[in-house]
Amino acid sequence: MELAFSSKANRGLVASPPLEINKVVVETKEDYIIEAREKLKAKNAIFYICYKYKGVSSEGFAGDHQSIVRKTMDGRPGHMSLEVASQITKR
């Protein structure tokens, strides 16, 4: 998994920080999926991700995080939408 953080203040992306992924759960309603890894290719899915930021604490990201990423595709080639919600659970 590769992540980048964007800030509204500086309008730029920062290199992928050191993260420790603790748990990932993928939820989808598509019936044809048999194996867990096939869920990653689903057209519509919700990813629940728990991770810990292992970088410098002065950057404001230190601690345990929970994120929800919703992936939706409308069937048109190259069209995908991602919605992300994230929060720090412990510092």
Calculate what percentage of the chain has a pLDDT beyond 90.
8
pLDDT value at position 39? 78
Asked whether residue 64 is assigned to any structural domain, the reply reads yes
Structural domain total, the chain: 1
Cα gap 1→21, rounded to integer Å: 9
Residue range 64-84: mean pLDDT, rounded: 86
The helix (H) or strand (E) run that includes residue 72 is strand 63-72
Asked whether residue 86 is assigned to any structural domain, the reply reads yes
Residue range 62-86: mean pLDDT, rounded: 85
Asked whether residue 79 is assigned to any structural domain, the reply reads yes
Model confidence at 50: pLDDT above 60: yes
pLDDT value at position 48? 92
Q: Which domain does 73 fall in, by range?
A: 18-90
Asked whether residue 2 is assigned to any structural domain, the reply reads no
Q: Which of 40, 42, 24, 46 is nearest to 32 (CA)?
A: 42
Inter-residue contact 54 to 18 (CB < 8 Å): yes
Residue pointed to by tokens 């939706």: 72
Model confidence at 1: pLDDT above 50: no
Asked whether residue 1 is assigned to any structural domain, the reply reads no
